[in-house]
Amino acid sequence: MKDFAQLYSSLDATNKTNEKVAALVAYFHEAKPADAAWTIYLLSGNKPRQIIPVRKLCQWASEAANVEPWLFEECYEAVGDLAETINLILPVSDREIDVTLAECIETRLLPLRGAAEEEQHAAILELWQNCSSQQRFVLLKLITGAFRVGASQRLVTRSLAQATGVAVETLAHRLMGDWKPSAEFYARLVGTKDNGEEFTGTPYPFFLAHPLESEPDQLGDVDAWQVEWKWDGIRAQVIRRDGETFIWSRGEELMTDSFPEIVTASEALPDGTVLDGELLAWKEGVLPFAVMQKRIGRKKLGKKILSDAPVVLMAFDLLESGGTDIRQITMAERRVQLQKLVSEFSKFSSEPQKGILLSPLVNADSWQQLAQFRQTSRENNAEGLMLKRRDSADGVGRPRGEWWKWKIEPYTIDAVLIYAQRGTGRRASLYTDYTFAVWNDGQLVPFAKAYSGLTDEEIAEVDDFVRKRTIERFGPVRSVTPKLVFEIAFENIQASKRHKSGVAVRFPRIKRWRKDKSPEQADTLKHLLSRAQV
């Protein structure tokens, strides 16, 4: 536990990639297998569910530190992070808990979930009293379910490859899918051979694209690129192995039960097939993403929802054929095999042209002609174009130069900041999460939340404004004087009964601070609706 706490501090103390990699490599060289597995699990974005309610932790911390509840709340308000607040008010300790990370999580923390309050209280106090401040902070992060630190899964994989000699691509593949941290899993992860115990439905790492940052003609000959529509759906892999079907999202969520029509359609696929594509709401053509949202998060799919929001997989890549990984052959070669597969599938499918479709190519003689096609993206319910080098292999992560997304310009609207809330992580002490409103019949109506798009200097300036111009407090949220105007960008808009404005926007973010505009000059709800033609 001591080594993991030190690793957390090292990662949190720097934003330099090489320093993070060095700290991780050193840690993996010395860590026990079970500890290494839990470390990979936690640094990859996984975390235990909240073990003890925040209310109890606040109460016990106040009592242990002999601090009045109101003063604890003031401290929490100033610090902005619960784990840091508790760690700061408790007495400094130079003791160190002498257990491994795995033992601490598996035998001390996880059993507390669901235990009697007296047992929880005694166990937490014992941990607080017998841990160093550094260890206690990390444990509090785990207990509250707020564990996060500046290390992506790709960075962890890169570091582990250096420490073990196993290829990054191999590690990335083995880390896909549903796995639990254990010494046995770690042994399989870094083993030199495939021992045959891998989960049948394990997906491949998703290959991602960079936004196009320059004019496309700088990419060279247009004929060197395979061009497709950039669909607005859910990126997914459909896996057909050993007579079973598995559907995985890019976020490594197993979604098989949510798309029964894809499961049925995939029964016509040859065994040992893995398709990469986009799940789209479809009825004689692509439907808006809002239709797909009706199905997301539902545990039961009745006949009505399946009828109102039918789904297809728009397949754009073939990753495995006949049980063989073909990711290293070129995009052009994989496309030929994919076309043949989908053609054969259509012959044998019980519902031809339904369930699994081939993503159409956008053919053009010049970049200028492609630019004209791109302008029609919204008419096709697409977000723009995808540019994929014909000679590219399918890889891991987001390498530059192989795949580009050439998106259309977003919608924009000028809106007024009316609410603010503290951020998380490094921004826990700053007001960085904002709610924006537009005018409707002389009233400001909230329509979107956004927390990205400002520089550090602008964030500091807005934070100062929020503190000085707070009107009311609603728990962690502050309403502020409606004075600041921002240009908000978003991808799409749809009707929504859940929002006071009657609409919901997709991927809202701050494009720029409109210091040249007064709140009276912000846009109206009517104008917002007209921009997206709702």
pLDDT in tens, 169-220: 888 888 888 789 999 999 999 986 554 455 688 899 999 999 998 899 999 9
Spatial neighbors of 38 by CB under 8 A, at least 6 apart, are 101, 102, 105, 181
Q: Which of 242, 320, 251 is nearest to 279 (CA)?
A: 251
Average pLDDT score over the chain: 89
Two structure tokens written together for 316: 């754009």
Q: Which two tokens stand for residue 278?
A: 């986009």
List, as one string, the DSSP characters of 216-252: GGGG--GGGEEEEEEE-SEEEEEEEETTEEEEEETTS
Residue 462 CA from chain centroid, whole number: 26
- What band does 414 get if pLDDT is binned at 50, 70 and 90? very high
Are 484 and 463 in contact by the 8 Å Cβ rule? The answer is: no
**Over 90: is that where the pLDDT of 162 sits?**
yes
Asked whether the beta carbons of 414 and 485 are under 8 A apart, the reply is yes
Q: What is the mean pLDDT of residues 264-281?
A: 94
Alpha carbons 88 and 175: distance in angstroms, whole number: 36
> Cα dist. 342→19, 337, 356, 359 in Å?
47, 9, 8, 10
Q: What is the 3-state secondary structure (H, E, C) of 325-360?
A: ECCCCCHHHHHHHHHHHHHHHHHHCCCCCCCEEECC
Tokens describing residue 363: 């053919």
Are the CB atoms for 503 and 529 separated by under 8 Å? yes
Show the 3-state SS of 146-198: CCCCCCCHHHHHHHHHHHHCCCHHHHHHHCCCCCCCCHHHHHHHCCCCCCCCC
Range among 192-206, 336-350, 392-406 with highest mean pLDDT value: 392-406
Residue by residue, DSSP assigns 127-141 as: HHHHS-HHHHHHHHH
State the pTM of this model. Answer: 0.74
Going by C-alpha positions, the residue among 418, 436, 420, 417 that lies closest to residue 477 is 420
For 351-394, what is each residue's pLDDT tens digit?
Answer: 544 689 999 999 999 999 999 999 999 888 899 999 999 999 99
Q: In whole angstroms, give the CA distance from residue 490 to residue 327.
A: 34
**How many alpha carbons fall within 13 Å on the CB side of residue 68?**
3
In this prediction, residues 42-61 reach a mean pLDDT of 87
φ/ψ of 95, rounded to 5, equals: -75, 160
Predicted pLDDT at 350: 45
Rounded Cα distance, 292 and 305, in Å = 10
> pLDDT per residue over 439-472, tens digit each?
999 999 999 999 889 999 999 999 999 999 999 9
How large is the average pLDDT for residues 209-237? 93
- What does the block give as tokens for 357? 């479709």
Rg of the Cα atoms in the chain:
26
pLDDT value at residue 338: 96
Q: Is 105 left (phi over 0), alpha (psi -120 to 50) or beta?
A: alpha
Nearest Cα to 506, choosing from 517, 519, 495? 495
Pairing mode, strands 382-389 and 356-358: unpaired
Greater pLDDT, 171 or 485: 485
- Answer for the pair 5, 138: CB distance below 8 angstroms, yes or no: yes
pLDDT at 196: 46
Which range scores top for mean pLDDT: 10-14, 188-192, 517-521?
Answer: 517-521
Whether the predicted pLDDT of 331 surpasses 50: yes
